Chains A and B, each alone.
Chain A
């Protein structure tokens, strides 16, 4: 694996910052590229330099035997990652499923802009909030359809002496 220096350990030492950033990175990874493109264009794409150009590779997905036991290697998934730095100084990192370099680039840009006090509020409104709503709706729709197939099984017990 390539050596890669931590790019943001100085910027965000706080645990709660991690929680917020973790949440938006998770949302950005699940976004459609078109939605990222649209949201970012609304606030304007900033200038940046690459810290690591987009690269597609494999992550080995792990499970646990029986769900809770020893770890085992289930199979791989395609992942694209990149890292960049804005002219203003914030660094953005993206790990997104699939092979789209453009999606990784946009997710890393959004990650950087969401850390910047100047642009965070605007990008939240233009991208993150609509995205979170959409993901929430998608999850609820799936849940309602699954719940519609909820079943109560009855066992037909034989009466004594029958």
Chain B
């Protein structure tokens, strides 16, 4: 238990000042601008927006600068800031089928309507350190294809869906309003909408490890990346004062449709089932891990035994949030003097008791 302590104001103020100086580093070097962070550390910005659960690249860049690049700390800062803003409403559901795509790949079909676009990916780089980046050089220029009419790019899962070989995802009757974890606490069992919200802002490292565990055999899953798409999706809202929907901009998103073999059950024929990942920005690892964990967490509704950690809602959803995890682990370094003194006293008494009992036995022998 933590008991409040007083004192140390000067030391704390001076530690703020030291933190500021250390964060700034060598003052002879130019200071980083938020624009530089936003433009040149964009994957860090995306991760902070994703897990900070606020899409605002400038705020994420500021958080990264303030946290000296500690992304978990930056996520904390962004979450704290969001708590100061009023909620204006909810958007209409994103239409990811009509994203303007920068990248679109499928590991299940090589020939797809709309084609496969590699986009800007590290996948095919050789992971050799590029020392030319150590010196400032010319800005690289991307190649451009000849102008062509935009073609429709249907979802890969819909190609199998036509044959009934893959489960369809349709909203329940009346398209019920999803519960919102920013308004209501997490309770179990959690329905899929709540699980997806939790995973969407969950820690990438945690979800990656959980997803990895399903691949290594901790849950019966044989996943294929049915489709990964990255690009811009239009955001629409329906303000009450207008009475019609308007578009308020585009969000950069990554979506992953993971396809898993399913042997069938008493009521369902064998078919493919799906796991879903959706993340702000270019967050492919996150979206893929999320889709693996989403599928594993559907064990109950698909009649699978929940035997592995990744299939257990309470285990996954209670430990996915970096804010809660980091807070609880790190609170251990705050003063626990009173608590520890009590424990110390207890251990002394136990030892004294044992010693007395030993002396008693010796005398009796």
Residues of A with Cβ closer than 8 Å to B? 1, 4-9, 18, 22, 25-26, 29-30, 55-79, 81, 83, 93, 95-99, 139-155
Contact = CB atoms under 8 A, between A and B. Distances in A.
Nearest to B227: A67
Interface string B188-199: 000111101100
Contacts of A59: 87-91, 235, 237, 248
Interface string B88-112: 1111111011001111000000100
B88 to A, nearest CB: 4
* Shortest beta-carbon contacts, A-B, top 9: A69-B169, A66-B169, A26-B247, A147-B145, A97-B249, A77-B55, A72-B193, A57-B88, A144-B144
Nearest to A149: B118
A146 B102 contact: yes
Contacts of B87: 1, 57-60, 76
Contacts of A71: 93, 171, 175-178, 193
Nearest to B52: A75
B171 A64 contact: yes
A29 B171 contact: no
Contact of A64 (B89, B169, B176, B200): B169
B144 A141 contact: yes
Interface of B: 49-50, 53-56, 58-59, 82, 85-94, 96-97, 100-103, 110, 115-120, 142-148, 150, 155, 157, 168-172, 175-178, 180-182, 191-194, 196-197, 200-201, 231-232, 234-235, 237, 239-251, 255, 257, 274, 276, 278, 280
A30 B56 contact: no
Contacts of A155: 110
B88 A69 contact: no
A60 B36 CA distance: 28
A122 B199 CA distance: 49
B209 to A, nearest CB: 22
Contact of A75 (B55, B150, B169): B55
9 contacts: A5-B241, A6-B243, A55-B88, A60-B91, A66-B169, A73-B90, A76-B182, A96-B248, A146-B101
Contacts of A152: 110, 116
Which of A57, A61, A93 is packed against the most chain B CB atoms within 10 Å?
A: A61
Contacts of A68: 168-171
Which of B49, B142, B147, B196 is packed against the most chain A CB atoms within 10 Å?
A: B196
A36 to B, nearest CB: 14
B54 A18 contact: no
A103 B160 CA distance: 45
Contact of A70 (B101, B119, B172, B241): B172
Which of A22, A29, A98, A146 is packed against the most chain B CB atoms within 10 Å?
A: A146
A58 B178 contact: no
B161 to A, nearest CB: 9
Contacts of A22: 244-247
